[in-house]
């Protein structure tokens, strides 16, 4: 698809005519820009808008700049634009620091790796350098804001979004703990990153299906074989039938579409094919109603009684619901809830020291300097005032030079990308690198072809944190949860988690469990929703296919079963180090490991509970738990002298899920 930049002049020529006389600097236009591709014009005003090109109140663009070509799928582009909605809000608009040109710059960088023209990007700075610019900043911002955000400023023909999303205002989970939502841990702004199914899709009202043949009827009954169906036999010459028409329409709307119920109406006098339907069920009078439950005939009655119709249909809809999952009746407060946020790691280290660790051969490249400047600006001013750097150039530099860097510097490069990836614009770029098959992530998340369980701890930790931060992106989540379960991206993420679950470092196991938590959150949310509502949607896109692999589940169980041994060894090493430090007259020992033990064990049990809650009986995880005698393992932990024996999740996972809720 061709990508174009539409350039407009908000001053309608006045800037070119009077700017030099007023400011001493020639300003050709007050630029408003939009990105156009696939016959949609995207721009920022009262939020992000999608219009038919040229249909806005700005009229014809003064210039159309070809930016290049993108091969990104439309759904990826829409997911990325959706991820920008928390940054480009109506309240955040500022003519000089956060305007339509910042939006087109970010989108252009994502689509083609190219900036919009420099004279457009630098216009605010050029104007503010003049004395009158500083003096009139407030008045000009207000007048231009009116032009960009007034009701008629977003007039024009809308283009519907192909992937609407709803994002709740929620708390963020950062560095493994629940904290109030902040922008990068500093400025309190609400750039929330929600899991894509944290808010279940709203049910749409159902409708009556009008049919006139057996073929149409059989199709609808087959679609309702897991739910229920009602056939309303009526006739154009039947006055009593009209009495129950409004009631039947209301019941269809009430049933909704997610239930799978089909409310069908047929006029048996309309045609011979319609009469054939009545003959099949031996219907001779109207109105007559026949109901079906799970594919089998349930009931039949005649007569125009709205109250009877309401009672019978509502009872049928209730009977069609799947029974509540048995786990919904257990004492599992930790798991009987929707997971709103992924776990992310937002701490930013001293960037100048990080560059020193990397070394000048890599860090002095212009793309690296641009990325560092962007992170600093984001930390200082927030995401809204930090335009994206050239991520394409950075990716090319990283993938071409990473293998030649000294191995001891790799962790610092990964940490730099981790810091950037907390921004959904960056993580979306990394997730959408399809042309190069996610070359940047493949480069960073491959430990020289070796097992991550034996990698240095600093490599384990920053790699796991980077993987967790990728969940800030809707694009990444869609790729991970709705893509093919055997995709290279998903395999590399699961392999990283599985191998680090067997790390000799407790902290690495804790972070690996956090990654499993993120991986399990999508299917957990779907299970919780179904367990609470009794809904069984039988969608073609089965959410169970998004569950973590059996190999990853097995690695998690092994990490739990070997935890006690690792914790005791860690405690022994800690005591030895303390003794050595005391004998040397030093108080700089490594300290107690009890805190690390508790945190790591809690993270492991939390991830396991996420995988077990409402899992179907045929899930391989139940067999693995029995084969590894996990319930006894947890009992041994509770009876031991370890600091983790008081962990509250021991009761929820061990007593409730593995004992009362096991299959």
Catalytic residue ranges: 32, 100
Contact criterion met (CB below 8 Å) for 153 and 93: no
For residues 513 and 468, what is the distance between their CA atoms, to the nearest angstrom? 10
Q: Residue 465 to residues 299, 446, 448, 468: CA-CA distances in angstroms?
A: 57, 14, 19, 5
Q: How far is CA 47 from the centre of its chain?
A: 20
569 contact partners, CB below 8 Å, separation of at least 6: none
Tokens at 82, concatenated: 């959706």
In the chain, the N- to C-terminal Cα span, in Å, equals: 51
491 contact partners, CB below 8 Å, separation of at least 6: none
DSSP 531-597: HHH------SS-GGGGSPPHHHHHHHHHHHHTHHHHHHHHHHHHHHHHHHHHHTT-------SHHHH
DSSP 389-429: --HHHHHHHHHHHGGGS-GGGHHHHHHHHHHHHTSHHHHHH
In 313-469, the DSSP E strands lie at 343-344
DSSP 254-280: HHTTTT--EEEEEETTS-HHHHHHHHH
- Closest by CA to 132, choosing from 19, 28, 23, is 23
Q: By three-state DSSP, how is residue 40 classified?
A: strand
C-alpha torsion 57→60→63→67, nearest 10: 80
Contact criterion met (CB below 8 Å) for 439 and 391: no
For residues 18 and 16, what is the distance between their CA atoms, to the nearest angstrom? 6
Q: Residue 472 to residues 483, 569, 594, 642: CA-CA distances in angstroms?
A: 17, 36, 31, 36
Tokens at 591, concatenated: 């300290």
530 contact partners, CB below 8 Å, separation of at least 6: 322, 325, 536, 537, 614
214 contact partners, CB below 8 Å, separation of at least 6: 273, 276, 277, 280
For residues 22 and 635, what is the distance between their CA atoms, to the nearest angstrom? 80
């Amino acid at each position: 698809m061709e990508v174009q930049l539409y350039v407009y002049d908000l001053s309608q020529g006045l800037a070119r005519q009077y700017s030099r006389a007023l400011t001493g600097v020639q300003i050709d236009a007050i630029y408003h820009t939009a990105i156009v591709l696939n016959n949609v014009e995207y721009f920022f005003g009262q939020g992000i808008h999608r219009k038919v090109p040229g249909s806005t109140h700005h009229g014809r663009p003064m210039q159309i700049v070809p930016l290049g070509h993108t091969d990104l799928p439309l759904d990826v582009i829409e997911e990325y634009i959706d991820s920008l909605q928390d940054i480009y809000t109506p309240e955040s608009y500022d003519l000089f620091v956060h305007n339509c040109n910042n939006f087109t710059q970010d989108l252009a960088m994502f689509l083609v790796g190219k900036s919009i023209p420099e004279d457009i990007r630098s216009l605010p700075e050029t104007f503010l350098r003049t004395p009158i610019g500083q003096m009139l900043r407030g008045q000009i911002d207000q007048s231009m804001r009116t032009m960009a955000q007034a009701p008629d400023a977003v007039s024009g023909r809308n283009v519907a979004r192909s992937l609407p999303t709803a994002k709740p205002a929620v708390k963020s989970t950062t560095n493994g703990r629940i904290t109030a939502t902040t922008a990068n841990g500093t400025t309190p702004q609400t750039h929330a990153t929600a899991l894509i199914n944290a808010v279940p899709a709203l049910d749409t009202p159902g409708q009556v299906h009008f049919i006139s043949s057996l073929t149409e009827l059989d199709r609808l009954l087959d679609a309702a074989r897991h739910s229920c169906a009602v056939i309303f036999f009526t006739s154009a010459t039947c006055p009593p039938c009209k009495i129950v028409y409004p009631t039947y329409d209301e019941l269809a709307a009430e049933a909704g579409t997610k239930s799978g119920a089909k409310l069908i109406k047929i006029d048996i006098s309309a045609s011979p094919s319609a009469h054939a339907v009545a003959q099949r069920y031996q219907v001779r009078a109207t109105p007559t109603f026949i109901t079906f439950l799970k594919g089998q005939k349930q009931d039949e009655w005649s007569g125009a009684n709205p109250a009877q119709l309401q009672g019978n249909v509502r009872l049928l809809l209730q009977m069609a619901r799947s029974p509540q999952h048995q786990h919904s009746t257990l004492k599992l407060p930790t798991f009987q809830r929707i997971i709103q946020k992924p776990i992310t790691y937002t701490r930013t280290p001293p960037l100048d020291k990080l560059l020193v660790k990397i070394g000048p051969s890599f860090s002095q490249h212009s793309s690296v300097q641009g990325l560092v400047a962007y992170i600093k600006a984001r930390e200082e001013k927030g995401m809204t005032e930090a335009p994206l750097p050239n991520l394409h150039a950075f990716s090319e530099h990283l993938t071409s030079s990473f293998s030649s860097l000294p191995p001891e510097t790799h962790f610092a490069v990964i940490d730099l990308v981790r810091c950037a990836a907390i921004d959904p614009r960056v993580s979306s770029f990394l997730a959408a690198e399809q042309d190069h098959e996610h070359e940047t992530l493949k480069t960073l998340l491959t430990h020289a072809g070796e097992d991550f369980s034996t990698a240095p701890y600093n490599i384990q930790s920053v790699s796991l944190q980077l993987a967790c931060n990728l969940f800030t992106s809707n694009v990444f989540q869609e790729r991970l949860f709705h893509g093919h379960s055997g995709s290279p991206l998903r395999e590399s993420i699961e392999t990283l988690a599985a191998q680090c679950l067997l790390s000799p470092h407790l902290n690495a196991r804790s972070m690996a469990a956090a990654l499993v938590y993120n991986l399990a959150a999508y299917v957990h949310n779907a299970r919780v929703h179904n367990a609470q509502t009794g809904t069984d949607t039988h969608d073609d896109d089965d959410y169970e296919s998004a569950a973590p692999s059996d190999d990853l589940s097995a690695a998690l169980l092994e990490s739990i079963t070997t935890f006690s041994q690792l914790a005791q060894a860690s405690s022994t090493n800690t005591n030895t180090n303390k003794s050595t430090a005391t004998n040397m007259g030093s108080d700089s020992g490594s300290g107690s490991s009890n805190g690390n033990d508790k945190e790591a064990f809690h993270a492991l049990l939390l991830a396991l509970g996420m995988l077990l809650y409402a899992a179907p009986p045929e899930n391989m995880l139940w067999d693995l738990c029995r084969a590894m005698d996990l319930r006894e393992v947890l009992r041994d932990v509770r009876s031991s002298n370890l600091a983790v024996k008081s962990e509250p999740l021991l009761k929820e996972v061990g007593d409730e899920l593995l004992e009362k809720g096991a299959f």
